[in-house]
A and B are shown apart, each in its own frame.
Chain A
Amino acid sequence: MENIISIKNLNYTYPEAKTQAIKDVSLDIKKNQWVSIVGKNGSGKSTLTKLVDGLIEADSGSIEIDGQALSEESIWDIRSKIGIIFQNPDHQFVGATVEDDVAFGLENQGMPKEQMVKEVDHALELVKMADFKNRDPQSLSGGQKQRVAIAGVLATRPQIIIMDESTSMLDPEGRQTVLDLVQDLRAKQDLTILSITHDISETELSQRIVVLNAGRIVEDSDPATIYNLGADLTHFGLEEPFSSELMSQLRGSLELPTGYLNEEELMDKLWKLRSKK
C-alpha cells in the first residue's frame, strides 16, 4: 500500500526554546491505517501534528502528503486533505449552532449554499448528530461536541484525520463513542487516522504505535509488541497497560503465557485456568 504521509529527517525548535521539540524524525504512514503516536507531555507529539498540517514551519526536513510536498504553495491544498480534531471541544467550535459549525470548513472552500446543505446533513448523519442540527454548543456534552467537530472535518472530505488528544477531556462514555465512531469511519470512508495520545489504553484500536520521547521516535511497532514492553513503557512517561501490569503481578503465583493479552483475552485465560487442571 502507498504512503499517504511521508516525513523525512524533520527538525523543529520552538522560537526561544533551548531544546529541540522534534529531532530528526522520519516516519511513513500507509493509507487507511490507524496509527497512534504516544508520548508524555512535551515529547513533541502535538508539535509533529502541527508540522504535518503546516501550522508551523519545520527548520529542516521534508513532509509529503499524498505524494505532494508541503510548501508555501501547496499548504492550502494539503490542509484540505487533513482534518484535525483538537483536545478542547470548546476551543474549536466556531459556529453558533451545530450546523453552522459543520459548514465552517465548507464556507472556507467557497462551496455553494445548496451543496453545503447536503454535505452538512450527510456529515451529521455519519456522526449520528443529525437530531442536534439546530442546537447551540452550550447545550451539548463534551462527547457530542467532539462528534460535531468530527462532522465538521468529515464534511470537507479529508483523507487523513488527526486526533490531537481529542478524547482526553471527555468522560469514559464520551471517549468510547468517539473512538468507536472513528474506527467505524476509518473502515467505511477509507480514512487514515493519526491519533495522538498519552493514554496507552486508547491505542488498542490502532494498527501501529509510534512512541515519541523528547522529540525522537523511540519505538515503532504493532500494539502487541509495544504493550509487551510492559514496565519499560514507564521510561517514556507512559503507563503500562492495565492487563500487562496485572499479568506481571500474577505471574508469581499463576502460570500465564508470555506476551501481551488484552483485558478480554486475559479474562478468558483466567477463568479457563482452573478448568484445565
Chain B
Amino acid sequence: MNKLIMGRYLPGDSLIYHLDPRGKFLLTFYFVGIVFLANNVASYAFLMAFVLFAVYLSKINLGFFIKGLKPIIWLILFTVLLQLFFTPSDHPLWHWGILTLSKEGMVIASYIFIRFILIIFISTLLTLTTTPIEISDSIESILKPLKKVNFPVTQVALMLSIALRFVPLLVDETTKIMDAQRARGVDFGEGGLIKRIKSFVPILIPLFVSSFSIAYDLAIAMESRGYKDGEGRSKYRVLNWEKRDNMTVIFMAAVTIILLLIRSY
C-alpha cells in the first residue's frame, strides 16, 4: 500500500535524475500528448526508440518499467482484445458471430498496445526519478501565475507536501487500528463484498479521529515554529533550470518535428 501511493521513487544518479522536475513533469505530459500523433509503423517505432533511449539514460533496470505495467495489465489486455476482435473489416481472416479477426484489427490492436507501453514507460520514468516532494515543488512553480488571481499557491503546495509526508504515517495508523480490531475478533478477509465493506467502517472512523488529532498536533508544532500564513516565507528547496534542461526541451522539439515528418497524413 505504501509503495503504491508514494509513487515508486527509486534513489539513483543519472542525467534524468538531475533534470529540473518542472521540465520532466511538463515534458512527460507533452509526450503523452504527442503519442497520439503517431499513426504508422515508422512513427511508433521512432517513439519506442525514444522511450527506450530515455530509459537507457536513466540507468534504471528495464524490469522496473515492466513492473509499472502490472497494475493495469488487465485494462491493456481488455482494450487490445476488443480492438483485435471487434475492428470491422471487408477482408476478415476469421469470422465467428460478432467476432472478426482481420489484418486491420491486428495492426490497430498492436498500435494500441504500443501506445500503452509508451505512456506507462514514460510516466514510470517520471515517478521513478522524481521524488514526490519534487513533483509537489514543480506543481507549485507551474501554478505560480495563479497567484495573480489570489489563488493561495504556496499554501496549497505546503498542504500537498504535508499530505505526502503524512501518507506513511496514516498507513501505520490504519495498520494499528486494524490490528486492534483484529485483536477483538474482526476478520477483514471474510464474508461477501457488502460484509467486507461494512467491516471497514470501524476502521475509517477511528482513522478520521486520529488524523484530526495529528493535524491538531502538527498545527501547534508549526505555529510554535513561527508559521503564520505562508506570506513572507523563503524557500529552502529552490529549483534550478539549467542548460541541460534547455537541451532537453530542444531535443523534445526535434523529436516532435521528426515525428511530424514520418507520420502519414
Give residues in A with beta carbon < 8 Å to B.
50, 53, 55, 76, 79-80, 82-84, 86, 88, 90-97, 99-100, 103-113, 116-117, 120, 137-138, 152-153, 156
Contact = CB atoms under 8 A, between A and B. Distances in A.
Nearest to B220: A55
Nearest to B166: A90
Interface of B: 131-133, 161-162, 164-165, 168-169, 214, 217-218, 220-228, 232-238
A156 B224 contact: no
B221 A91 contact: yes
Contact of B168 (A76, A113, A138): A138
Nearest to A137: B165
A88 B165 CA distance: 15
B236 A91 contact: no
Given A91-B214, A107-B236, A113-B235, A84 B131 contact: no
B234 A107 contact: yes
B225 A88 contact: no
Nearest to B226: A108
Contacts of A100: 133, 236-237
A200 B164 CA distance: 38
A91 B165 contact: no
Nearest to A88: B217
A91 B234 contact: no
A93 B165 contact: yes
B234 A92 contact: no
B235 A105 contact: no
Nearest to A149: B221
A108 B162 CA distance: 15
Interface centre among B161, B168, B218 (most CB of A within 10 A): B218
A104 B222 CA distance: 9
Contacts of A97: 133
Contacts of B224: 53, 55, 79, 82-84
Nearest to A162: B224
B111 to A, nearest CB: 40
A111 B218 CA distance: 22
A80 B235 CA distance: 18
The 6 A-B residue pairs with the shortest CB-CB distance in the complex, in nearest-first order: A103-B236, A92-B221, A91-B217, A108-B226, A96-B133, A105-B225
A200 B230 CA distance: 40
Given A95-B165, A96-B165, A100-B237, A109 B217 contact: no
11 contacts: A53-B224, A86-B221, A96-B164, A96-B165, A99-B236, A104-B227, A108-B233, A110-B234, A113-B235, A113-B236, A138-B168
Given A107-B233, A113-B235, A117-B236, 17 more contacts: A55-B224, A79-B224, A84-B221, A90-B169, A92-B217, A92-B221, A93-B165, A94-B162, A96-B133, A97-B133, A99-B236, A100-B133, A106-B234, A107-B235, A109-B234, A113-B236, A138-B168
Contacts, number: 87
A156 B226 CA distance: 10
Nearest to B236: A103
Contact of A113 (B221, B227, B234): B234
A96 B132 contact: yes
A95 B234 CA distance: 14
A23 B131 CA distance: 50
B234 A80 contact: no
Contacts of A106: 234, 236
Given A96-B131, A105-B226, A86 B165 contact: no
B234 A116 contact: yes
In this complex, which of A96, A105, A110 has the most chain B Cβ atoms within 10 angstroms of its Cβ?
Answer: A96
Contacts of A53: 224
Contacts of A153: 225
Contacts of A104: 222, 225, 227
Nearest to B237: A100
Given A96-B132, A100-B133, A100-B237, A108 B220 contact: no
B177 to A, nearest CB: 16
B227 to A, nearest CB: 5
Contacts of B132: 96
Contacts of A91: 214, 217-218, 221
A105 B242 CA distance: 29
Contacts of B164: 96
B234 A111 contact: yes
A92 to B, nearest CB: 4
Nearest to A105: B225
Nearest to B215: A91
Nearest to A108: B226
Contacts of A120: 236
Contacts of A79: 223-226
A120 B235 CA distance: 13
A116 B236 contact: yes
Contacts of A50: 220
